[in-house]
Amino acid sequence: MNEIDMTECEHLKSSILLMAVHLEKLAEEIDNDSIKEMLTEILDARHIFVLGAGRSGLVGRAFAMRLMHLGLSSHVVGETTTPAVSKGDVVIAISGSGQTRSVSDLGKVAKDIGATLIAITSNKDSKLGNLSDVVVELPGRTKEDIGGYLERHMRGEYSYLTPLGTSFETSASVFLDAVIAELIYITGASEDDLKSRHTNIE
C-alpha cells in the first residue's frame, strides 16, 4: 500500500476551498432574469423532462427526483418509463459545453415538437444555447478547457480544482438544489409533503 504524503491532503483541501470560492462567484454572477424565466416555465409546465449525458446526466437525475418530491410531473429522458414529450411540456437540458451532440440533437427534437427548451450550460453561445428558449449560464471551466488546464500543470502552475479540470457538474448540482429550495419557498411545500412522495420500497 502506498504511503500518503500529507501534502496530497493539502491539495485536496485546496480544491474544496477553490470550489467554495467558485460557487460564491457563481451566486454573484448568475443572471436573475434567466432564473425567473426557468422557475416560471417549470411551474407552468404540464410535464418536465430532464436531459443530460455523462456526469451532467447524473446531476439531472437528482434534479428530476427532487421535482417529483415536490409533486411535479418529472421524467428523465432515456428511461424506459418516460412518456412522450408534447407541446406545453418543458425539457431541461444540462451540458457544460452546450456542444454535446446527443443533448443538442434531442433538444432540437423537443423544440420541433413544440416543447419549451431550457439550457443549463457554461456556454450560452453554443449549439444548445442557441436552440433554447431559456438559457441559464453557469460560468466555470468545462471539459472543453482541459488542454489549457493540463498545460498549466505541466509548467507547475497548479490550480487544484476538480478531476479533468471541470467544475460545471458541481456548479450545476448546487444550482439545481437551490432551484428546488426556491420552488419549495414559492409553493409553500412542507417537509412532510416531500417525505410523503419519497420512495418507500428501497
pTM score: 0.85
Residue at 103 is within a domain: yes
Strands (DSSP E) found in the chain: 48-52, 74-76, 90-94, 116-121, 134-137
- Specify the pLDDT at position 159: 52
Other Cβ atoms within 10 Å of 2 Cβ, number: 4
In this model, does residue 164 exceed pLDDT 70? no
The amino acid at 24:
E
- Specify the pLDDT at position 54: 92
Question: Is 151 one of the catalytic residues?
Answer: no
Average pLDDT in the chain: 86
Domain span at residue 175 reads 30-195
Say how far residue 197 (Cα) sits from the centre of its chain.
23
**How many independent structural domains does the chain possess?**
1
Residue at 18 is within a domain: no
Tell me the C-alpha distance between 31 and 174, whole Å. 16
Query: Residue 61: pLDDT band by 50, 70, 90 thresholds?
Result: very high
Query: Residue 4: pLDDT band by 50, 70, 90 thresholds?
Result: low
Q: How confident is the model over 130-149, as pLDDT tens digits? A: 999 999 999 865 454 544 54
**Residues in CB range of 184: below 8 A, 6 or more apart:** 70, 194
Residue at 126 is within a domain: yes
Q: Which of 10, 24, 169, 182 is catalytic?
A: 169
SS3 category, 70: coil
SS3 category, 117: strand
Q: How confident is the model over 11-59, as pLDDT tens digits? A: 777 778 888 888 998 999 999 999 999 999 999 999 999 999 999 999 9
CATH number at residue 58: 3.40.50.10490
Tell me the C-alpha distance between 41 and 46, whole Å. 10
Q: What is the DSSP letter of 87?
A: T
Helices (H), 114-167: 127-131, 146-154
Residue at 16 is within a domain: no
- Specify the pLDDT at position 197: 86
- Specify the pLDDT at position 7: 61
Query: Residue 1: pLDDT band by 50, 70, 90 thresholds?
Result: low
Identify how many contiguous H helices and E strands the chain contains and give both numbers: 8, 5
Tell me the C-alpha distance between 44 and 90, whole Å. 9
Grid cell for residue 32:
436573475
- Specify the pLDDT at position 13: 79
Residue at 121 is within a domain: yes
Residue at 9 is within a domain: no
Tell me the C-alpha distance between 53 and 155, whole Å. 32
Nearest to 76 by CA among 92, 88, 89, 97: 92
- Specify the pLDDT at position 15: 76
Residue at 56 is within a domain: yes
CB 104 within 8 A of CB 91: no
Helix, strand, coil percentages, rounded to 5, for the chain: 55, 10, 35
Residue at 11 is within a domain: no
